[in-house]
Every structure is written in C-alpha cells, then in structure tokens.
Amino acid sequence: MKHFLRRQRYLIDFTVASLARRMGKNLGLLGVYTLIVFLLASVMLFTQSLRHEASLLLVNAPEVVVQRMLAGRHELIPEDYLQRIGKVRGVAAMYGRLWGYFYDPVVQANYTLMVPREHAPVSGEVKVGHAIARTRGLGLGDFLSFRSAQGQSFAFRVSEILSSDSELVSADLLLVSEDDFRTFFGIEPGLYTDIALEVRNPKEVRKVAEKLTVLLPDTRPILREEILRTYDALFAWRQGIVFVLLAGSLLAFVIFAWDKASGLSAEEKREIGILKAIGWDTGDVIQMKFWEGALVSLGAFLLGYLAAYGHIFFFDAALFAPVLKGWAVLYPKFHPAPFIDGLQVATLFFFTVFPYTVATVVPIWRAATTDPDAVMR
Amino acid sequence: MPTNYDTISKAHYRLRVGTLPLILLGLGLLIFAISLLDAHWRAQTLQAGTGAALVAELGLTDLALFTEARYTRHLSQADRHSAFQDHPLALDHFPSGSLVPPPERLRQP
C-alpha cells in the first residue's frame, strides 16, 4: 500500500511538472472549466434553495381556496357561498379573504392590499411590506396617499413595517382594515375576493373539492397541493430555461475540453514516446494522464462549486437578481437558505469531472499502446 | 540515483512540485465538506421563520417574486385567460411571463 501511494505521488509530481510546462494553456482551461461549473452550480443551488424555501413557506397556505369565476375571469364571491360551503361534510373552517391589487403611479409598482384575519390595523393605518418601505422610503408614522376607485384621496399612516425576514412572501403587501379596504376599492359588504377552507381530514381534500365543484358550478377550488406543485414546477422550469440558455456555452466548452483532452499534440506524443523508451509501461503513462485529468477537473469542480456556494448563500445570488426582477419595481430582498440535494451535487460532479477525465485517458491509452519508435517519429 | 523510494531524503520530499497542488486540493475538499455541514446547519436553524408564520396568519398563497403582473404575482391563483387579458390573441406584456409556466393545474388536460 505504501509503495502504491508513493508511486502515485511521484506520478502526481510528474503530472504537475508536465502541466506547469504548458502553464498558460492549462490555466486557461482551468479558468473556463471553473466558470462553467460555477454557472451550473449557481443555477442548481439557487433553484434548489428557492424550491425548498417555497415548500417550507407555502405548506401553511390555505388548504383550499375557492374562487368564483364569471366569463372566465376571477369574480368577487358573495357571503352566502360561505353558508353553502359550510354544508359540505368535511369542511372544518372557512373564511372570506379580502385582497386585491393597487397600481401606484408614483413608483410605478403594483401592491397587494389585504385584510388580515387577526391583528388588523385600525382604520386609517396600514402595515407595509419591507420592499414597499424601502422603495418609497417609508418609516413608522409616515403617511401613504393613494387615490381610491372613486377618485378620493386616502391617507394611511404606517403603523408597522413587516419583517424583512418574510420578504419573500410579503414584499408588496399592504395590510389595511376591512372598512378601509371596502371603501377604498368600492366593494360592497357581503362580498369577498375568495374563500379559504380548512378540511378536517387531509385525505378528504380532493373529495371536498369535487363536492364543491358540483355544489357551486361557477367556482373553482385551488388546493394547497396544487399551489406547492405549481412552485415546484416553476423552479424546475426556470432551471431548465437557464440550462437551455447555457447550452451554447456548455457545448463550446465540451468541444474545447474534448479537443484539449483528446487531441494529443506532437509534443505530448513525443513525451509519451520518450517515457516509454526510458522504461515506463503503458499503465504508468495512463495513470499519469489520469492524474492530469483528475487534478484539472476536480480542481475546477471544487473551485466552481465553492464560488457558486458563496455567490448564492453569502452574496444572495447577486448575478441572478437582474434576471429574476423582470420589470417589477418591487422585488424581495431575500437570503436564500442553503439546501443542498446530495443527488444533484453528485450528478453535477459526475457530469463535470468524469467526462473530462475519460477524454484525457482514452487517447493516451491509444498512443501509449503503440510502439515508442513510431510515436516519436 | 535512488534504487527505490526509501532512499529519498525528507528534505527532498518537502520540495516536491506535486505537494502544493495536493494541499490545495485537500483544502478544497475540506471546504467542500464544510459547505455541506454549513448548509445542513443553516437549513436547520432557518426552518421556523417569520415568513411561514405570516403565511399561516394571513392565508397567503404565493411568493412575491414577480410583482409586475397579477398572474405572475399570484401564480397559483391565475385563471386560464389572465396572460391574454386584453384580447384572445394579445401577446404577454411582461417579461416574467416568459419565466413562469402556467399553473400546474391549468397544464392538465
């Protein structure tokens, strides 16, 4: 064993010295290789973290949301639907939700106005999301003025700024009292935006939803599991889009790496010929080249992966933020919580380290099995 | 000329060219292992956040990732027509519309 290890160390010494002789070329390769791993790992870690965070947050979303549809569009739902839904067996609790959108021409941003079930602000006051406070430069006690649906001016005093920790779900929220909400939007009492339900037995959720579509044909139920699946699909889709965009650069890298790894230069062939002539056997040459591939690809993987980890979890994915923001003025500043899927890291490792190492070894094996004299000529 | 590996002196052993890359690689592997532990530890401490409490308290359904259009702000609540709200052949106005797929429920036949 000791003999084997020492032998490998000498082979590594020789490989490093050989790589150092073509320093510029190999450093260039390491740089490009690292960049590719960095981009792939960044996308992977970011989407994985968002997906995990979404599943942790939205697991507390309402079990069923019932929306009323009119001519294919979302319509306000009358209060008497609550009583009709209450008759469905299995429904444990239900409440009407009041929420809507407001476009603020001052900062050209969309807000979500909502009435909390508990701890609602008193009339004339508002609790604002952290991104709104940041964008409009608001502090506690400041006033926010909007024009209502009837053209009247409304001034709300900021009574609370929602915690920045919850920005991923509350960036654009404005929490107001029920009276203010109804007056502001001109919504009559007895109408709600939609209805949220809790079902006694989680296994019966689908059955309850089916009963609701029969009982109230102009409504559609949205289940929590569908909300979770939507976000799961969203991040898979986005990861897919970025990977497709990266495909061009990936292919360029594959061609570059394949050319570098598999196309032996005359100098390298001569080197192999000399090694064989001075007594190295084919196995030694292959092991030496294996170390070359492994050192470069493992080094690039580690550098790229660790840089991506820092980028996502310490610098909050600064490079991706402009893409995610789109046209939105309000964008949540959030700190992705690290969640690493071992299988994904293993897949990334396999698809970045393994092909390069193989691409290095195979042509060498071909050159090393030929006669030294023929190789050197 | 050494005949076997044992004849190499310790002074010579320390100066070998392969030592530094191996140390760097070992360091990289160590930091990689630390990053896995860091992720595990931070995920444990962040699980019960204020965000989850707010979702439960207000009955929120969506993430505030794309606030520019109602069908991207409340993605899971969007109806079949919301991306084409102006008329049936109107193209999607908002860039984030190309970043988000239709809700899972609407993609089922």
Contact A311, A41 (CB under 8 A): no
Q: What count of other Cβ atoms lies within 10 Å of the Cβ of residue A175?
A: 25
Residue B7 has pLDDT above 60, yes or no: no
pLDDT at B48: 55
By C-alpha distance, which of A61, A189, A194, A180 is closest to A115? Answer: A180
Among A51, A57, A225, which would you mutate to test the B interface (most chain B Cβ atoms within 10 Å of its Cβ)? A57
| Interchain contact, B18 vs A332, CB within 8 Å | no
pLDDT at B4: 54
A51 to chain B: nearest residue by CA? B63
| Interchain contact, B67 vs A330, CB within 8 Å | yes
Residues contacting A104, CB < 8 A, separation 6+: A110, A111, A146
Reduced to 3 states (helix: H, G, I; strand: E, B; else coil), residue A65 is strand
pLDDT interval class at B16 (50, 70, 90): confident
Q: Give, as one character, the DSSP assignment of residue A278.
A: T
H-state helical runs in chain A: 2-21, 23-58, 80-86, 130-136, 167-170, 178-185, 205-215, 224-262, 266-277, 282-313, 321-325, 342-368, 372-376
Q: Which 272-331 residues of chain A touch chain B by CB within 8 A?
A: 295, 298-299, 302-303, 305-306, 309, 313, 323-324, 326-331
Query: What number of H helices and E strands is found in chain B?
Result: 5, 0
CA atoms of A192 and A78, how far apart (whole Å) = 6
The CATH classification of domain A64-222, taken from the options 2.60.120.10, 3.40.50.970, 3.30.1380.10, 2.40.40.20: 2.40.40.20
Domain ranges of chain A: 2-58+232-376, 64-222
Output the six-digit token pair for A212: 């609701």
Contact A169, A327 (CB under 8 A): no
Task: State pLDDT tens for residues A251-280.
Answer: 887 787 777 666 677 777 788 888 888 888
Identify the residue whose tokens are 């360091």. B27
pLDDT at B108: 62
Task: State pLDDT tens for residues A329-371.
Answer: 788 887 888 888 888 889 889 888 888 887 777 777 777 777 7
Q: Does the model's ipTM exceed the 0.90 cut?
A: no
Output the six-digit token pair for A187: 């919504």
| A197 or A355, greater pLDDT | A197
* pLDDT > 70: percent of chain A: 96
Amino acid at A148: S
Long-range contacts of the stretch A276-280 (C-beta < 8 A, 24+): A276/A368, A276/A372, A276/A375, A277/A372, A277/A373, A277/A376
